[in-house]
Amino acid sequence: MGKTTTAINLSAALAAAGAKVLVIDCDPQGNLTSGVGIDKFEEHKTLYEVLLRHVSIQEAVLSTSFDGLRLVPADQNLVAANLDLVDSEERESRLRNAVQDVSRDYEYILIDCPPALDLLTLNALVAADTVLIPIQCEFFALEGISQLMDTIDRVRQAFNQRLRIEGILLTMYDDRTNLTRQVEADLREFFGAEVLRTVIPRSIRLAEAPSFGKAILAYDPRSRGAESYIQLAREIMSHEQRARPESAQSAG
């Protein structure tokens, strides 16, 4: 469990707190789309049309079963986006330009990136204000996150000077194991306050929820997983209030 699980459940927790939230599925696998209960095989306007066929992002927004949460879906056509974008003008800023049209309509806009660093991921990083980095408590955690931090630095220098780290989120957390405790200690020593206080526990209920097209808050609202994402939403909202005290309601 990592980025998509977090995108689904954090967006739902922010919506449950009363925020207007848009989540954008930027991964051709479409797992976020199905994870919030939308059939990715039905006919919808998707992110592909937004990026490459001049469809406005408003036309692609779908309601979900979770109050306050809306979605821009993905489907398998998005696989072709990397090739189709290569020769396009402003290829790295297509998503940023699209999101600007709805930025005032939502307090939070979350983007679920593909697992690889490609043109879709670059579009997401150029469009974003901050990056939340979910990381599983595994042996190679430090190596992988160091590479990602280097990539973020390069994107910041070349395309998006305002990009900052929202935080590093420990997932699949099981404090009964020495490995989890060691990974946490290493990350907190190395990255300090960038590691969020909230941790996401290893949880069967969290793993099950997307297969039912539900966020954990709808699937099992009293579970440890639901409690952890509510706490994460509170921590993220407190970050926004400190970072932008005069515009706390316009976070993206």
Q: Percent of the chain, pLDDT > 70?
A: 95
pTM value is 0.92
The answer to whether position 251 is within a domain reads no
The answer to whether position 219 is within a domain reads yes
Total domains in the chain come to 1
Q: Tens digits of per-residue pLDDT, 182-223? A: 999 999 999 999 999 999 999 999 999 999 999 999 999 999
The answer to whether position 159 is within a domain reads yes
Range of the domain at 30: 3-243
Q: Tens digits of per-residue pLDDT, 59-91? A: 999 999 999 999 999 998 898 998 899 888 889
Please, how many CA atoms are within 13 Å of residue 166, restricted to the half-sphere of its CB?
22
The answer to whether position 252 is within a domain reads no
The answer to whether position 248 is within a domain reads no
The answer to whether position 167 is within a domain reads yes
The bridge status of strand 164-173 relative to strand 130-136 is: parallel
The answer to whether position 102 is within a domain reads yes
Domain of residue 19, CATH code: 3.40.50.300
